[in-house]
Amino acid sequence: MPTSSFDTFFACTIIVAVALISMAFLSSTIQTRIASTQDINKDSYLKAIADHILTNPGSPADWGTKNASPVDFGLAKSNSNNAYELDIDKISRLNSLNNFSISYPELSNAAKLDIALGIKVSQLMTVNVLQSSNSTTGSNTIFTFQVSTNIDSKPTSANLHCYVAADAYLTAINASIPDTGVGQVTLQIPTAETDNALLVTFARSSIDDRITSYAIYNFADSAQESTPSSTELDLSPLDYTLSLNDSMPNLTIQNGYVFSYSYPQPLPSIGGSPLVIPKLIDQSPMVLLVCGFNGTSHFQEWTAYPQVPLKIGATFEGSEQNIFSYVVTINSVLYRLDLSLGDLPR
Digit-coded pLDDT (tens) for 317-329: 888 999 999 999 9
Tell me what pLDDT residue 1 has. Answer: 46
Q: What are 214-225's pLDDT values in tens digits? A: 999 999 999 999
Nearest to 204 by CA among 213, 193, 216, 194: 213
- Range with lowest mean pLDDT among 127-131, 163-167, 267-271, 318-322: 267-271
Tell me what pLDDT residue 36 has. Answer: 45
Structural domain of 292: 126-305
Looking at residues 245-272, what average pLDDT do you find? 85
Q: What are 16-48's pLDDT values in tens digits? A: 444 444 444 444 443 444 344 456 688 999 999
Per the domain annotation, does 269 fall within a domain? yes
Name the domain count of the chain: 1
Per the domain annotation, does 7 fall within a domain? no
What DSSP string runs through 147-167? EEEEETTEE--EEEEEEEEET
Per the domain annotation, does 287 fall within a domain? yes
**291/145 Cα distance (integer angstroms):** 24
Per the domain annotation, does 42 fall within a domain? no
55, with CB counted inside 10 A (0-12, 13-18, 19+), is middle
User: What are the angstrom distances between the C-alpha of 127 and each of 173, 203, 254, 278?
Assistant: 16, 7, 30, 25
> How crowded is residue 222: how many other Cβ atoms within 10 Å of its Cβ?
11
Q: Do the beta carbons of residue 181 and residue 155 sit within 8 Å?
A: yes
Per the domain annotation, does 240 fall within a domain? yes
Q: How many residues does the chain have?
A: 346
Q: What are 276-299's pLDDT values in tens digits? A: 999 998 999 999 999 888 888 888
